[in-house]
Homo-oligomer: A and B are copies of this chain.
């Protein structure tokens, strides 16, 4: 039935054409991913347990090779963090800790997850949801994307907010538990157990990689 020889994405739930599928990688930045990052100690246990970085890298490269759109969603604040008031909640911690300051090593993508020239990099993220203060939805629409595969940091904060809005925006949303990390294994597992299935199809790096195959035409 397919008229070209591009690989397709198939899970037990769905078959998608790479032409309308985007893999969205949220905040694979040194502040989270690398020893020396201010939040590394908070997330290193879930990274270690799930193999977050290696799995995400494998998925990113495989999806790019298959012709999917690769999108990176970094968070960054200008020195002084004047974009946020720091009054309460998680953004207060971000401001107090001067985390993710633009143009520093801390805000850089980690070595394993550097954008390639064919990737898109979202701009404007100064909140939690990957859509709210950014051009993510705009670029997804301009590029006729229907399927969004999510991974990154923090599982129950930015990844979850992005998942919830992606579902609300009408995309077919997949979430990759073993490509995410949070501040506790219990929090990550609670998120996948209680909420991720309401707004996405939770799956794994292995299942997604298996689904990217060259179809018979």
Contact = CB atoms under 8 A, between A and B. Distances in A.
Interface of A: 13, 78, 82-85, 87-90, 120-129, 132-135, 137-139, 141-144, 156-157, 160-161, 164-165, 167-170, 172-173, 184, 186-187, 190-191, 193-195, 197-201
Nearest to A145: B170
Given A78-B121, A126-B139, 17 more contacts: A78-B120, A85-B144, A89-B199, A89-B200, A89-B201, A123-B126, A124-B135, A125-B135, A127-B135, A128-B198, A129-B164, A132-B138, A132-B165, A132-B168, A160-B164, A187-B190, A190-B190
B143 A135 contact: no
A148 to B, nearest CB: 13
9 contacts: A88-B172, A89-B200, A126-B138, A127-B168, A134-B135, A138-B170, A141-B170, A186-B194, A190-B193
A122 B135 CA distance: 12
Contacts of A133: 124, 134-135, 137-139, 168
A193 to B, nearest CB: 8
Contacts of A85: 142-144
Nearest to A190: B190
Contacts of A139: 83, 126, 133
Given A124-B123, A124-B135, A172-B87, A198 B167 contact: no
Contacts of A191: 194-195
A143 B84 CA distance: 7
A144 to B, nearest CB: 7
Question: Among A128, A161, A187, which residue has the most Cβ atoms of chain B within 10 A?
Answer: A161
Listed residue (A89, A144, A168) with the most chain B CB atoms within 10 angstroms of its CB: A168
B135 A126 contact: yes
